Amino acid sequence: MLKVGITGQKGFVGTHLYNTLGLQPEVFETISFERSFFENDENLDAFVSKCDVIVHLAALNRHNEPEVIYDTNLNLVQLLVASLERTNSKAHVLISSSSQEERDNLYGKSKKEGRELLANWATKAGANFTGLIIPNVFGPFGHPYYNSVVATFSHQVANGETPKIEVDGQLKLIYVGELVAEIIKVIQNKTNNSKYTVDHTSEAKVSELLALLQEYKTTYQEQGQIPAIASTFELNLFNTYRCYMDIATHFPVKFTQHTDPRGTFVEVIRLGVGGQVSFSTTVPGITRGNHYHTRKIERFAVIKGKALIQLRKIGTDEVLDFYLDGNEPSYVDMPIWYTHNIKNIGDEVLYTNFWINEFFDTNDPDTYFENV
């Protein structure tokens, strides 16, 4: 079992890497890291000593003063190198650098010089080192105005703000889940490469990204339709967008009921994609679910009975409670990386309609169990 520590564990990429490694407890043990370790040699040395692999992600991406970015990033690497030397570590160290290395800015300079410092340490120590040159990363839970233009635009569009395109450049992009998969491959292969270029998986102009996000707002957020999704990139972008909506106030969404003397007709879902539709009956007091998905889009629609649907983002403690009643049919959609369940809180059998955007595959279920 490999013991893996991640500096910047609570950052955008760090959170995704930490959570994904946790899905394979038989392969990886994650060594917990706190930013305060950089301020205490003893704590930093204790962390480094426990690790077979260290993924150095801690860095400052933006600041009003570029010199602060440069000084901070270089200082963090210097502190890590000093600890590696004090502990005589032979850990496989990876650092996240950037395609901005070759640009004339202090952020790119800090990443390049930091990568070179760690490469020199690895040569002297006889340890494996991988300097990851990473393109623009996007995905759920990135910080607006900090991590990426996708995070900023998603936040702005979802919350009714007006994005502004400064430069309509062509971006080379990688989804955070794809980047994490690449990092794990590098760890398992023990890749020793001081300048390892991570290939981008998609390209888009800034205006094209914005147009897609605005379409998601109209089609999904306002009309409740699942949009047409033409590629894996668009699926990843849609799942990213959904995480910037205020789901606590958006759900549950009530269906439109068409009633006449014969009874009532309700359209449950309108789709631009395929998938699988099912329904369940649940007896009073029973809870279903307590699992989460990392890529699937899923809708729970209560059509008869009373239900409590609960959601909790992985790695957090806040639980969102949604109460649904078949007398006013409504639905809740499940964001990725949110564990969720549904409980019959009524006195009669609960009828629930489920839709998910892909067929269930026992060899690749994308279903991970964790109690809400």
Give me the helix-helix angle, 176-189 and 12-21, nearest 10°: 60
Q: Which residue carries 């699937």 as its tokens?
A: 296
251, 130: one domain: no
Question: Helical H runs in the chain?
Answer: 12-21, 41-50, 66-86, 106-125, 149-158, 176-189, 206-216, 232-242, 247-250
The pLDDT value recorded for residue 27 is 97
Burial class (CB in 10 A: 0-12, 13-18, 19+), 125: middle
The pLDDT value recorded for residue 61 is 87
Computed from CA positions of residues 207, 98, 146, 244, in that sequence, does the dihedral angle turn out positive or negative? positive
CATH of the domain at 338: 2.60.120.10
- Mind listing the pLDDT tens digit for each residue in 57-112? 999 988 889 999 999 999 999 999 999 999 999 999 999 998 888 888 999 999 99
Classify residue 7: in a domain, yes or no.
yes
Burial class (CB in 10 A: 0-12, 13-18, 19+), 239: buried
CATH of the domain at 100: 3.40.50.720
The pLDDT value recorded for residue 63 is 87
Classify residue 61: in a domain, yes or no.
yes
For residue 300, which of 220, 255, 354 has the smallest C-alpha distance? 354
Classify residue 11: in a domain, yes or no.
yes
For residue 256, which of 240, 242, 268 has the smallest C-alpha distance? 268
Classify residue 86: in a domain, yes or no.
yes
CA–CA separation, 261 vs 247, rounded Å?
35
The pLDDT value recorded for residue 167 is 94
CA–CA separation, 176 vs 18, rounded Å?
12
Domain range for residue 41? 2-134
CA angle in degrees (0–180, nearest 5) for 101-104-108: 30
H or E segment to which residue 4 belongs: strand 2-7
- Which of residues 112, 134, 156 is at a domain's end? 134
What confidence tier does 207 reach under pLDDT thresholds 50, 70, 90? very high
DSSP 217: I
For residue 28, which of 183, 140, 193 has the smallest C-alpha distance? 183
- Which of residues 134, 155, 172 is at a domain's end? 134
- Which of residues 134, 160, 178 is at a domain's end? 134
The pLDDT value recorded for residue 247 is 96
pLDDT above 70 coverage of the chain, percent: 100
CA–CA separation, 195 vs 180, rounded Å?
17
- Mind listing the pLDDT tens digit for each residue in 33-59? 999 999 999 999 999 999 999 999 999
What confidence tier does 153 reach under pLDDT thresholds 50, 70, 90? very high
Is the separation of the CB atoms in 172 and 261 below 8 Å? no
What confidence tier does 345 reach under pLDDT thresholds 50, 70, 90? very high
CA–CA separation, 187 vs 132, rounded Å?
12
Extract the tokens encoding 76.
């963090």
The pLDDT value recorded for residue 99 is 85
Classify residue 328: in a domain, yes or no.
yes
The pLDDT value recorded for residue 62 is 83
Classify residue 54: in a domain, yes or no.
yes
- Burial profile 248-267: b = 16 or more Cβ within 10 angstroms, e = fewer: eeebbeebeeeeeeeeeeee
Instruction: Tell me what the mean pLDDT of segment 147-176 comes to.
Output: 96
Hey, is 119 helix, strand or coil? helix
For residue 255, which of 215, 299, 217 has the smallest C-alpha distance? 299
Classify residue 169: in a domain, yes or no.
no
Classify residue 235: in a domain, yes or no.
no
Hey, is 191 helix, strand or coil? coil
Tally of domains within the chain: 2
Is the separation of the CB atoms in 264 and 327 below 8 Å? no
130, 251: one domain: no
Concatenated DSSP letters of 22-65: TT-TTTEEEEP--GGGGG-HHHHHHHHHH-SEEEE-------SS
Q: Which residues contact 351 (CB under 8 A, 6 or more apart)?
A: 279, 280, 281, 302, 303, 304, 305, 326
pLDDT above 90 coverage of the chain, percent: 96
